[in-house]
Structure 1
Amino acid sequence: MKNVVKKEDFVSKQFLGVDFVVLSIGKDSMVTKMLYKSTDNVPFHQHPNEQSGYVISGKYNLKFGGQEYPLSEGDSYSIPANVEHSITIIEAGEVVDVFTPIRQDYL
């Protein structure tokens, strides 16, 4: 567990070509900050983690459950576990994501 993590100690990672940092890890949840570039592409995928997010900056199209959701600064979302979803980056930016349980592939 990393309950408190100073910004100079953030761990940089990559998933499907997208850069992100692990912000903190609790007993059952994980907080990350996605650093989306305009050239990033996150195709449909699913994982056994509920994913909730908050858009700090940028513009995106999030797809899941047969719907498409345009997102921009200040918007938030929650994707149930095991539900296929994708995100198209319209404008580069940052998104904070919380995963429950912890994403083992992000450690």
Structure 2
Amino acid sequence: MKNIVKKENAVSRQFLGVDFVVLSIGKDTMVTKMLYKTTDNVPFHNHPNEQSGYIISGQYRLKFGGSEYLLSEGDTYSIPADVSHSIEIIEAGEVVDVFSPIRQDYL
């Protein structure tokens, strides 16, 4: 468990070609910062983790539950566990995501 992580100690990772950093990890939650580029492609996928996010910068088209949402700086979202979703990167930027439970495939 990493309750406190200084930015210089954040662990860089990649998933589906998207760069991100693992920030804090608690008993039941994980915080990550996604570093989206316009060339990134996140196709429909699902996972057993609830996912909530906050848009720091950039512009995105998030699709899930039969709807699509145009998101930009200051917007937030929550995707229930096991729900198929995708994200299109319209403008490069950063997004903070919180997962519960911890995503084992991000460790």
Show CA shifts across 1:46-92 (max 9, x none). 00000000000000000000000000000000000000000000000
Q: Quick one: percent identity of the two aligned structures?
A: 84
**Where do 4+ consecutive residues of structure 1 move more than 6 Å?**
none
The secondary structure found in structure 1 opposite 2:60 is: strand
CA distance in 1, matches of 2:62, 2:70: 6
The question of 1:31 aligning with 2:31 is answered yes
Q: How does 1:12-27 map to 2 (within 5 A)?
A: 12-27=12-27
TM-score, structure 2 normalization? 1.00
Show CA shifts across 1:10-51 (max 9, x none). 100000000000011000000000000010000000000000
Q: How does 1:1-80 map to 2 (within 5 A)?
A: 1-80=1-80
CA distance in 1, matches of 2:42, 2:80: 17
> Post-superposition shift, 1:95?
0.1
CA distance in 2, matches of 1:70, 1:3: 32
List runs of 5+ in structure 2 lacking aligned partners.
none
List runs of 5+ in structure 1 lacking aligned partners.
none
RMSD: 0.2
The question of 1:86 aligning with 2:86 is answered yes
The secondary structure found in structure 2 opposite 1:47 is: coil
Aligned residues: 107
> Post-superposition shift, 1:93?
0.1
One-letter amino acid matched to 1:50: E
One-letter amino acid matched to 1:10: A
TM-score, structure 1 normalization? 1.00
